[in-house]
Structure 1
Amino acid sequence: MKRLFLVALLIVALVGLPVLAETKTLNFLEVMTSPERTVMIKDMIAEYESSHPGIKINLISPPYEQADQKATLMLNSNQPLDIIEVRDNTIKQFVNNKKLTDLGKYYKGWKEAKTLTPVAMMGAKTIDNTLYIVPQCIFIKALFVRKDVLEKNGITTVPETITDLIKTCEKITDPSKNQYGFAWRGKSGEMKFSDFFASANIDDIKKDAMLYSEKKNYFTDPRYVQGMKAYIELFQKGAPKDGINWGFNEQINGFVSGTTPFLIQDPDAIPLIDKMLDPDKYIVVPVPVGSNGIAYLDYGFTGLGIPSYSKNKNQAWDFIQWMNSAEKNSYFCEHYGALPVHTTAFTTNKYFQGKHYTAFLEEMTTTSKYIFKPFPQSSAKWPGWDPIHEADMQNILLGQAKLETVLAKWEQYWSK
């Protein structure tokens, strides 16, 4: 009897071995950190872990200001890391240092790769046309319009061209009533706005890999000069003068108050605006086009990659394809404020079927009209470009520098 009892115990022990198998821990570093975002990612991780009992995911969330530096340090020193959030301005560095895995073989077995938007695939293949990441968030710009403010000022149509936008802004501007047209961007990345206006009429950019680079720029091209003059006119006749110091928050405040009923911004502005303004008081439409019927748009993105030295690549991929599935990605982007990476999100998720998101889908899928051209963020000249451009633009707008002199300086900066 005692012998039978011991045998029974042995059987139970053997049957129970799989349950006692060692749990594998994956280290996941996020870089676009914020308290709310981190909580959401932790909740999604908990959901994944509940259906994958052998996997534990350790989320590393450094302060936003230190996150990119932390990512670089961890990768360069081969610290334990299996999943890493990669940004458009860090992917080149990581690839150059051979720290990211080519995910091509994983993509081949991923059915939902077929529904990635064209812009998402451009982000995935940013470096050497190789799939180093699975995009998670897309950021592009569209035109936000306060139709109620326009109607009060006798405007019943929404401008579809840059020329019409400038004319409309000038028409409704009346400083005595604190009424202007365009929510100017004078600080932090202001070159993305000036380049949008100045580059619109240059057909040659279509064939270029980037909006400009060390190999090619158009700063002294007559068409670029003309576009810059139109942009300066917009500031002088259709925007508040203190807009020269406006950043993102000031732009949003100007739009919400109705002081500036035209705003060019990314989709992450929508949740913020909706908290401050009745959603029915504004619309979002595609950006206006140049005289040639096209517009050049830059795009930002984040994505998930696998460090080249990870010992858990297959497990890391399983989580990445789950996290970036159409269902989970649309949920994540809905609550984060970015654009989802799957076309199906715009037909299956009611949030992205809303009127404020159709413009972004039109821009992403009408690639003959809205042409995506990235900035040269991988260039060694890029880190120093923002402060130079911002200071020079302020000097031009304040009448302290001549446009032609500044454009010649920019041409030389990128041509050296």
Structure 2
Amino acid sequence: MKTWMLSALTAVMVFTLTTACSSSNDGKKPDSGSKEKVITLRMIESLTSPSRTALIKASIDKFMAQNTNIKVELISPPFDQADNKIRTMLAAKQPLDVLEVRDLNVAEFVNNNYVEPLNDYTGSWSDFGTVTAVAKSVASVKDKLYFIPNGLYQRQLFYRADWLKEAGINAPVTYEELVNASVKLTDAAKNRYGFSFRGGPGANGVPDTLIQAYDADKINVDDAMFLKDGGTIYSSPEAKTALDLYVKLYKEGSPPDSINWGFQEQVQAFTSGVTAFLLQDPDVIQVLSENMQEGTWATAPMPTGPSGKAMISAGGAGWGITSHSENKEAAWKLITFLSSPEENTQLSKSHGTVPIHSSATEDEFFQKGPYKTLLDMTNKPDTFINFKPPFEYPANGQWGTVAMESGQAMLLGQTSVEDTLTKWNEYWAKAKADMKK
């Protein structure tokens, strides 16, 4: 009897439990199994600044609001440390999904297998059709796309219009005029100098561009660190003339401590009334607009060399996917959101870059004011000659450091102009030889 009653009670309990489970879930899986897994993306930027980081964070917040299953952690190192931190994280394969790749280091990253090619991803992105050819070229190595630019950069001359008017000087057209005007405007006793020199990180920008302008009739525009005869741009007699002018620009027309300046210091000197001339990309436009009175500054095309020509190029940085990422589909989803015409155009307007979509460049915003200079240069291709920067050379990634250190030694009189040119010539000759291996 006890055995029968125990069996009956067990049957009732099993039936009751089964009925309860069935009625509470209506045949569906328990709630705990229906929640979507949250993916965490780690993202790092390179060209950091407080205002730009705030803009990127705002876009990321919008993305996360639309994609509640994806969490984005943004890493924003100080600008002068960012690229080295990125290299360290990549070499150690630290958790990282989206990174800001630069035209300066894309070949290096590709050579080390740090970044994922994006060609197989772009077919599913409806906005890819309006990405300009220039933007694609900047982000490609050997016909493979490795990042989507978040903005394009093209250098121009910024100058203190009020200073030049006061001194009776016209906006410089040639590099020689720029150097002479810088010397004339320099008055150390008043803490006024002609040129916002950049001798620290990124120092190679001015001497390279100056030498290319002096080599304009000889240069190979498809391989712009080299001449048509195969020699490097540093091997010509014109290179010596150009670099002598560069040394004069520093010694007679620039603040002495600018030998250590990077991007932020040279821009700060211009906005605070220390210097009269600044060669920079359009991303400084917003900073100048916010910190200087209207009418005190203006823009002019890039200075030309003795042949009346200037060498110009578009550069850029943008979002790529690390090759070791475990969340590549989610990473691509974030990149396409940040790179959409709406988000990219807003970033360009707020931060001062040229947008990557053809539809955005037709916006009236980019056809007036300080941006008009960029269009003026584009409309004179025989004077302002576009060249292909050495993005595909892995050696390009370290060129900035090599040029900065040897350039500082030259400016301090520790080595000669001739020895510096020899070192630079040997560096790029080896870079080309290594590419052929």
With normalisation by structure 2, the TM-score equals 0.77
How far, CA to CA, are the matches of 1:239 and 1:154 in structure 2? Answer: 20
Deviation at 1:221, TM superposition (A): 0.8
- Classify 1:372/1:252 alpha carbon distance in 2 versus 1 (closer, same or farther; 3 Å): same
1:311-326 matches, cutoff 5 A: 311-326=326-341
1:257-272 matches, cutoff 5 A: 257-272=272-287
1:212 and 1:375 in contact (8 A); partners too: no
Aligned partner letter, 1:385: V
Aligned partner letter, 1:31: E
How far, CA to CA, are the matches of 2:258 and 2:210 in structure 1? Answer: 17
1:182-193 matches, cutoff 5 A: 182-193=195-206
Q: CA RMSD in A?
A: 3.8
Greater CA drift, 16-25 or 189-198: 16-25
Does residue 385 (structure 1) correspond to residue 398 (structure 2)? The answer is no
Aligned partner letter, 1:360: L
Could you tell me which residue of structure 1 aligns to residue 154 of structure 2?
A: 140
Identity of aligned residues (%): 32
Q: Could you tell me which of 203, 208, 214 is aligned with 1:195?
A: 208
1:144 and 1:284 in contact (8 A); partners too: yes
Does residue 47 (structure 1) correspond to residue 57 (structure 2)? The answer is no
Q: Could you tell me which of 176, 179, 191 is aligned with 1:163?
A: 176
1:38 and 1:61 in contact (8 A); partners too: no
Deviation at 1:328, TM superposition (A): 0.3
- Cα-to-partner distance string for 1:294-317 (whole Å, 9 max, x where unaligned): 322465432112233545433332
Could you tell me which residue of structure 1 aligns to residue 75 of structure 2?
A: 61
For 1:308, what is the secondary structure of its paired residue?
A: coil
- Cα-to-partner distance string for 1:62-96 (whole Å, 9 max, x where unaligned): 63466545544554565554433223344233322
Could you tell me which residue of structure 1 aligns to residue 107 of structure 2?
A: 92
How far, CA to CA, are the matches of 1:116 and 1:367 in structure 2? Answer: 22
Q: Provide structure 1 residue ranges, at least 5 long, that are not aligned to the other structure.
A: none
- Classify 1:340/1:406 alpha carbon distance in 2 versus 1 (closer, same or farther; 3 Å): same
Deviation at 1:384, TM superposition (A): 5.1
- Classify 1:72/1:174 alpha carbon distance in 2 versus 1 (closer, same or farther; 3 Å): closer
Could you tell me which residue of structure 1 aligns to residue 316 of structure 2?
A: 301
2:127 and 2:341 in contact (8 A); partners too: yes
- Cα-to-partner distance string for 1:128-158 (whole Å, 9 max, x where unaligned): 2211111113333210021121111123x42
1:199-218 matches, cutoff 5 A: 199-202=212-215, 203-211=217-225, 216-218=231-233
Q: Could you tell me which of 95, 120, 145 is aligned with 1:131?
A: 145
How far, CA to CA, are the matches of 1:240 and 1:81 in structure 2? Answer: 40
- Classify 1:401/1:74 alpha carbon distance in 2 versus 1 (closer, same or farther; 3 Å): closer
How far, CA to CA, are the matches of 2:364 and 2:429 in structure 1? Answer: 46
Q: Provide structure 2 residue ranges, at least 5 long, that are not aligned to the other structure.
A: 1-15, 431-437
How far, CA to CA, are the matches of 2:186 and 2:83 in structure 1? Answer: 42
- Cα-to-partner distance string for 1:4-23 (whole Å, 9 max, x where unaligned): 99987555957x98993423
How far, CA to CA, are the matches of 1:136 and 1:24 in structure 2? Answer: 26
Larger radius of gyration: 2
For 1:211, what is the secondary structure of its paired residue?
A: coil
- Classify 1:51/1:18 alpha carbon distance in 2 versus 1 (closer, same or farther; 3 Å): farther
For 1:327, what is the secondary structure of its paired residue?
A: helix
How far, CA to CA, are the matches of 1:266 and 1:160 in structure 2? Answer: 18
Deviation at 1:196, TM superposition (A): 1.8
How far, CA to CA, are the matches of 1:303 and 1:254 in structure 2? Answer: 28
For 1:200, what is the secondary structure of its paired residue?
A: helix
How far, CA to CA, are the matches of 1:312 and 1:244 in structure 2? Answer: 43
2:283 and 2:353 in contact (8 A); partners too: yes
Aligned partner letter, 1:378: P
For 2:303, what is the secondary structure of its paired residue?
A: coil
Q: Could you tell me which of 227, 238, 241 is aligned with 2:242?
A: 227
How far, CA to CA, are the matches of 1:12 and 1:37 in structure 2? Answer: 51
- Cα-to-partner distance string for 1:174-233 (whole Å, 9 max, x where unaligned): 6676654333333333221122222202133233424259x7423231121222233344
Does residue 280 (structure 1) correspond to residue 299 (structure 2)? The answer is no
For 1:181, what is the secondary structure of its paired residue?
A: strand
How many residues in Structure 1 have an aligned counterpart in Structure 2?
406
Deviation at 1:278, TM superposition (A): 0.8
